[in-house]
Structure 1
């Protein structure tokens, strides 16, 4: 069976004949700079997510405001819209003055 956890340490197996000690693949400086860059990247990502969250909050506020305005005036300005459509139609047809409709 395996050794108990109390007897295992970081040097376990270090004195086995024929086993060469492991060498680090990268230097400590390379590892530190990579971790520093990763830390900065994660911080930038967090800031970006926070900005997006603030933008979403602003959009939700605007939608609530629009929803309240629509709820307050559900018919909207349909009469004004029809009148504007007729005015624009009169100008498109070539007359310089909007056509008068009875």
Structure 2
């Protein structure tokens, strides 16, 4: 069993880490997104493979960004590293991908 946290959009490193481990033995404990350049690719990979996942504070910040009307809460995601993920999710992702994220 492998428990993984704090991937932070580093897709290539994730693939390297799990390359020889059966999917059933992999668990994610949050923070798939933000900071790295491949947050969307990382999130899609985990969702498509139906890995076991608990969301972390970075995913929670993104969800708060989507539903909150509080400007402080909306800005906090960017402060915590969400600026690159925001670009990926809302400028580079297709409408279908955006709907899945929401």
Task: Quickly name the TM-score band, shorter chain normalised.
Answer: under 0.3
Looking at both structures, which has the greater relative contact order when contacts are Cα pairs under 8 Å and sequence separation is at least 6? 2
Name the one with the larger strand percent: 2
TM-score, normalization by structure 1:
0.19
